[in-house]
Amino acid sequence: MSRIGKKPVDLPSGVSASVSGQTVEVKGPKGTRSFTATDDVTIAVEDNVVSITPRGKSKRARQQWGMSRTMVANLVTGVTDGFKKELEINGVGYRAQMQGNTLKLNLGLSHEVNFDVPQGVTVTAPKPTEVVIEGNDEQLVGQVAANIREWRKPEPYKGKGIKYKDEYIFRKEGKKK
């Protein structure tokens, strides 16, 4: 039995969900999102609650049960609160700034990195050493944050690079004389 799958997803006020076949569409103040589940689960909406049940007792049906419930919960969170990732830039001369729909990064390379922000995500640079990525799609927000971080991952000796705000960088000791 899936502990996660058993829990129904509550719909807060101002959020509506509709099911057509295996597709769940959730509408809220921050937009509309949809998810198509596999044929291994059944999705039902009753009294502002979305419930998911497996079809059969196969291993795949039980796997899809918990995953589908989590995906629907992420849709509800996305259209109500949205998702946010914060990046921190450490290093002498390392900075970021927004120009239109392009994030310009100075990361100690011979050239400036221009990162085009995809549709559906908002990127801001409140300080030259901070980047905030926001949107209603958790997967897209995380992927954009990972793509920005990939330009200069934090190194373990001085901690220079782009890291998540809550990330801990394990530091190594340098050479001894």
pLDDT in tens, 47-77: 889 999 999 888 998 889 989 999 999 999 9
pLDDT band at 1 (very low <50, low <70, confident <90, very high): low
pLDDT band at 132 (very low <50, low <70, confident <90, very high): very high
* Cβ atoms of 75 and 34 closer than 8 Å: yes
Whether residue 174 has pLDDT greater than 90: no
Q: What fold, for 3-80?
A: Outer Surface Protein A; domain 3 (3.90.930)
Domain 83-164 of CATH type 3.90.930.12: yes
Parse the chain into domains and list their residue ranges.
3-80, 83-164
Residue 146's pLDDT is: 95
Same topology between domain 3-80 and domain 83-164: yes
pLDDT in tens, 74-124: 999 999 999 999 999 999 999 999 999 999 999 999 999 999 999 989 999
Task: Say if residue 166 is exposed, middle or buried (CB neighbours under 10 Å; 0-12, 13-18, 19+).
Answer: exposed
